[in-house]
Amino acid sequence: MINEKIETLLNEIRNAKAGNEKEVEELRVRLLGKKGEITGLFDEFRNVSAEHKREFGQKLNSLKNMAAAKIEELRGRVAETSDRKDSSSDLTMPGDHFELGTRHPISITREEIISIFRKQGYALAEGPEIEDDHHVFEALNFPPDHPARDMQDTFFISSGVNPILLRTHTSSVQVRTMETRKPPIRVICPGRVFRNEAISARAHCIFHQVEGLYVDRNVSFADLKQTILIFVREMFGPDTKIRMRPSYFPFTEPSTEVDISCNICGGKGCNICKGTGWLEIMGAGMVDPNVLEACGIDSKEYTGFAFGMGIERIAMLKWQVKDLRLYFENDVRFLREFETSI
Ligand code: PHE
């Protein structure tokens, strides 16, 4: 009797299947639970005659071990398949989409500007964003009552003799460079600048500039013109023309504002250039002798030129971005448009 039951149970255990955790538990209770079939056999075992006890004892023990092993095996398998429903542990499922970032259009433009000037022998120079009045205004020949020092343009951090402020232009790096280096100086200074302006499609209180400075013996306005021409042709295309309009900056004399021929209509006039055929891209001029002297450079021996441009503006013209605020909102739909420009 017992022998037969053992044989049937062995068969059953060999072929046992379970679809989920609950079925495994049911099987365990049915075989090994307090009132389970194998447990029942151990009860019957007491009635087995002494001569067969050894033989049945061994059989019953191995049956119990097999059942326990099978239950463990089924439990493991059920756990594995339920895990698999979670795609992260199924190695055959396609991987999760990996988001690749793109470089910001301002970074792309800044790197392009730097690399064009690097080819012309310019080294990189940087300076602090939190500056003092001396480096942003005084050494750059700003008269004490110049409107740019006004609270409307400048974020002041402290007041007093030499107030601490957020730099309003990267020309402060010109000063720092000339104060610490001897000519010949040829530097390009990219950086973030701050102006107390209302945010609109065309203005922001934070933006980026690139300043250029060249100081040596016999540096002339013609050198400035040629340097800018090389730059705009690389940046906007080989047919780009430049136009220099007289202007005023306290730190350059003579001063000029540089326009390029409109890269959209080729100079014929369109809504981007407002029908003029020209787009303003930078301020420039010969470094004022007062600035050279304020920085410890002999203005009788040396001359120099400087130029400064807004990176946002260059990027706007290059890609026809209509609203400056887009650069600061970090909307990935906008940023992804520059993916192919890397
Ligand atoms: N610093 C000027 C500005 O912010 C630009 C400039 C730089 C003009 C160098 C002339 C020479 O507008």
Tell me the per-residue pLDDT of 299-322, one tens digit each, with 9 for 90 and over: 999 999 999 999 999 999 988 888
Task: Examine the fold and report which residue of 89, 118, 140 is the final residue of a domain before the chain moves on.
Answer: 89
118 plus 63 within the same structural domain: no
Rounded to 5 degrees, φ, ψ at 282 are: -165, 165
Joined tokens for residue 217? 């013996």
pLDDT > 50? residue 341: no
Domain co-membership, 66 together with 184: no
Judge if 60 and 178 occupy the same domain.
no
Residue 206 scores a pLDDT above 50: yes
Give, using CA atoms, the residue closest to atom 4 of ligand 1: 169
Query: Do residue 193 and residue 163 come from a single domain?
Result: yes
Residue 94 inside a domain? The answer is no
pLDDT-above-70 percentage for the chain: 96
| Count of CB atoms situated within 10 Å of the CB of 60 | 20
pLDDT at 86 over 60: no
pLDDT tens figures, 16-54:
888 888 888 898 888 888 888 888 888 888 888 888 888
Distance, C-alpha 75 to centroid of its chain? 47
CATH of the domain at 110: 3.30.930.10
Is residue 95 domain-resident?
no
CB of 169 closer than 8 Å to CB of 209 = yes
Residue 334 domain flag: yes
The Å distance, Cα 250 to ligand 1 centre, comes to 9
Asked whether 137 and 146 are in contact (CB, 8 A), the reply is yes
Q: Are residues 128 and 26 in the same domain?
A: no
Q: Give CA–CA dist 205/154, Å, rounded.
A: 10
CA of 228 to the centre of ligand 1 (A): 14
Residue (of 251, 254, 273) closest to 262 by Cα position: 273
pLDDT at residue number 98: 75
* Better-scored residue on pLDDT, 98 or 200: 200
263 and 295 together in one domain: yes
Residue 99 resides in a domain? no
Buried b (16+ CB within 10 A) or exposed e, 19-28: eeeeebeebb
Side chain identity at residue 292, one-letter code: L
Per-residue CA distances from 213 to 21, 97, 132, 311 (Å): 75, 46, 20, 17
What is the distance in A from the centroid of ligand 1 to the CA of 174?
10
Pocket test for ligand 1, best of 171, 219, 228, 288 (most atoms within 8 A of CB): 171
In Å, how far are 4, 31, 39, 78 from 9, measured between CA atoms? Answer: 9, 9, 12, 22
> Is 100 among the domain residues?
no
Supply the range of the domain harboring residue 17.
Answer: 2-89
The residue contributing the CA closest to ligand 1 atom 9 is 307
**131 DSSP 8-state letter:** E
Predicted confidence at residue 82, as pLDDT, reads 67
pLDDT of residue 88: 59
Q: Does 127 score more than 50 pLDDT?
A: yes
Q: Please give, one letter per residue, the 3-state secondary structure of 292-306.
A: HHHCCCCCCCCEEEE
**DSSP 8-class letter at 279:** E
Are 73 and 124 part of one and the same domain?
no
The number of folded domains in the chain is 2
Q: What is the mean pLDDT of residues 265-269?
A: 85
Q: Is the pLDDT of residue 233 over 90?
A: yes
Instruction: Give this prediction's pTM.
Output: 0.72
Indicate whether 337 belongs to any domain: yes
257 is a domain residue: yes
- Measured CA to CA, the distance from residue 66 to residue 72 in angstroms comes to 10
Residues 195 and 123 in one domain: yes
Q: Report the percentage of the chain scoring pLDDT > 90.
A: 54
> Which has the higher per-residue pLDDT, 201 or 94?
201
Q: How confident is the model at residue 128 (pLDDT cuts 50, 70, 90)?
A: very high
